[in-house]
Every structure is written in structure tokens, then in C-alpha cells.
Amino acid sequence: MRVLVTGGAGFIGSHIVDVLLAAGDEVRVLDALLPAAHRHRPEIDDRAQFLEGDVRDAGQVRAALDGVDAVCHQAAMVGMGVDLADLPAYASHNDLGTAVLLAGMVRAGIPRLVLASSMVVYGEGAYRCAADGPVRPAPRREADLAAGRFEPPCPACGRPLEPRPVTEDAPLDPRSVYAATKLAQENLASAWAAASHGTVIALRYHNVYGPRMPRDTPYAGVAAIFRSALERGEPPAVFEDGGQLRDFVHVTDVARANALALHRREAEPGRLTALNIGSGRPRTIGDLAHALSRAHGAAEPVITGRSRAGDVRHVFASSDRAGDVLGFRAAVDFDKGVVDFAHAPLRT
């Protein structure tokens, strides 16, 4: 199979390129080498064809799509960003870029897309109240966060809630600019599939970690932020009380999920299939910080009690559907993966 990987020089994209090349696929990479992810020009496997270009440029996209069978779309601005001044850049790179790519795929007659989506489209995860059953908590109030009341209460009775694994059928409630653009990518891809009879598998990544994460950038996930602090000789600074539940999944597992999606034979044209990609085992953010500090031989993390607008309390995956559809199961154990990550080189 001839595959175009957009963003294929980046953290997740480069691991996808590795897996596809190992499987014998022909790989072309299109990457704009944005400074937020690439301060220095990365090394690209010689077996892959590399094109430096921007998915927002129709001409560059047309050249990148020439002769390929499928597209693995990883190119995006990621993370929480700095402030709302980043909003136009997120919308441009993520949503306009996806629209230009999809239009190019129509012209080139390419019917198969694997899209990098994210668990951020859910907002808060799933919760159950002992009295009222499954509920959706309201956004947390700033006054509660400032007072250290981090757990969202039942919106009906005010009782404590039990976090539950979120499934792909959960309501979508993006609570940040990045989350809104990821949902818009899914909606654009879904519309493209319906109109072109193409096939889209949207992989909703949970908290991905592993080697080649970028260092010292505000456009990174919590694992990269903690690892960057350790690299600077500082303890990880943990927001809230560290009890936030997440699903930390190793980047090699995510890359394998992409390869499985690209090679899936049972096509479902005309629709988007969304799949959670996680480890299936929730851990707290505090667990990650402590495990990284121990493995790095560093001081214990600092629990700051601070919070950020747009952060949610608990969101972790049920990846059962990915198992049924793709045969995907995460293989990298958290303890081993974190120990390796504590000493893995970061992207600088």
C-alpha cells in the first residue's frame, strides 16, 4: 500500500512511518516542520519520501497525494496552546488544512482516510451517580476549583460521582479551542465520506506518551511537560491534587493502531467510524508524575493545587470497540513504558 502520512515527521507521525515501513508499505511524508514541534530539522527514514509542505496549500497537497492509496492524517496543532490568541492558528492548521486535504483526496480519487482525533472531543468523561444513574456533570465552577473542590458533583442531586470509561457513543462536548478543532476535523471527514463514499476511521487518541515527544513547548501534553521539567532538573508541577484520571497509552501502540486501521479490509464506505485508542487502564496524573520522577531519580513532584481553564477532571477510555473492529489491544505496560520514557530522548 502507498500511504501519505501528513505530519509524518512529528511525534506520533514518525512512529507511524516506522511501523508502515516495517510492514513493507511505501510511505510519503508531508510535514510543515512547524517550530512548535521542530526546533531542528528531524531525521527522516531514507526509505520514506519526504516533502516539506503545508496541508493548507492545495498545490503541495496535490503533489503529495499523487499515486497514493490511502492517507493517514496526523498534521495538526496540538495541546492547550498559550491563550485564545492561538485560536486562528488552530482553526487554520487543523480545520482549513483538513478541508484542503479532503478536497485534494476527492480530486485524486483516494477513498481511504485514517484521521488522528482525540479524547478531548468528549470534554468530561463518563460518570455515574448512585442515585441518578449515568449523568453529565456541568463544567466545573472557578470558585470550586479555587477552593480545592475538584470533583464535579451530580448535576441532579449534588452527590459525589463515580468516573466510568467513556465510549465512542458518549456525547461530544469540546471544552477548549483544540478540542473544538478536532471535532470539526471529524465532522469535515464525515461529510467528505458521505459525499464521496469514502472510508474514514477516526482514532480518538487518549494521553499518548513515549520517545520523540517535543521538549519545552506549550503545545504538548502532560507527559511531555513533566518529562521536560525533569530534563531541566525540576520536579514535575502537578495541577489540582493530581487525582485526575487519564488513560496513558504508549506511542508505539498508537502507531500500531494506525497501521491496523489503514490495512483494515472490511471497508464501510460513506461513514466515519470513531474508535478510542487507549491502554484500557486508567491512571492518575499524579501516578504518572511520581513514576517519572522515580524512574528519573529526581525529586518528588510538586502538587500545585492550580487549575487551567478547559481542563476536565476525569476522562479515560473504553477501547473495546477498537478491539472488535481492528483487533487492537495495547501491548506496552504502563510501568515499563514510563521507565523507558523517563530516559528516552526528547525532540529539541
Query: For residue 69, is pLDDT > 90?
Result: yes
pLDDT grade for 191, boundaries at 50, 70 and 90: very high
Q: Work out whether strand 2-6 and strand 49-52 pair parallel, antiparallel, or are unpaired.
A: unpaired
Residue 129 near residue 159, CB atoms below 8 Å: yes
User: Could you please report the per-residue DSSP string of 35-55?
Assistant: TTT-SSPPP--TTSEEEE--T
- Any idea which of 18-22, 224-228, 306-310 has the lowest mean pLDDT? 306-310
pLDDT at 276: 98
pLDDT grade for 217, boundaries at 50, 70 and 90: confident
pLDDT at 346: 86
Between CA 5 and CA 191 the distance in angstroms is: 21
Q: Work out whether strand 126-129 and strand 162-164 pair parallel, antiparallel, or are unpaired.
A: antiparallel
pLDDT grade for 279, boundaries at 50, 70 and 90: very high
Which CATH code of 3.40.50.300, 1.20.1440.230, 3.40.50.720, 3.50.50.60 fits the domain covering 2-124+166-212+248-280+318-331?
3.40.50.720
The mean pLDDT of 169-185, rounded to a whole number, is: 94
| Catalytic residue positions, numbered | 178
Q: Tens of pLDDT along 316-339?
A: 999 999 999 999 999 999 999 999
pLDDT at 44: 86
Ranges of each domain in the chain: 2-124+166-212+248-280+318-331
Instruction: Identify which of 83, 17, 78 has the alpha carbon closest to the alpha carbon of residue 51.
Output: 17
Looking at every residue in the chain, the average pLDDT score rounds to 94
pLDDT at 207: 95
Sort 194 into a burial class: Cβ within 10 Å, 0-12 / 13-18 / 19+.
Answer: middle
Query: For residue 82, is pLDDT > 80?
Result: no
Query: For residue 219, is pLDDT > 70?
Result: no
The mean pLDDT of 256-274, rounded to a whole number, is: 91
Over pLDDT 70: what percentage of the chain?
98
Query: For residue 136, is pLDDT > 80?
Result: yes
pLDDT at 107: 97
Between CA 107 and CA 101 the distance in angstroms is: 10
The backbone torsions φ and ψ at residue 159, rounded to the nearest 5 degrees and listed phi first, read -75, 160
Hey, which residues does 30 pair with through a beta bridge?
A: 6, 51
User: Could you please report the per-residue DSSP string of 69-133?
Assistant: SEEEE-----SS-SSGGGHHHHIIIIIIHHHHHHHHHHHHT--EEEEEEEGGGGSS-EEEETTTE
The mean pLDDT of 119-139, rounded to a whole number, is: 95
Over pLDDT 90: what percentage of the chain?
84
pLDDT at 267: 66
pLDDT at 48: 97
Q: Tens of pLDDT along 31-42?
A: 999 877 776 788
pLDDT grade for 81, boundaries at 50, 70 and 90: low
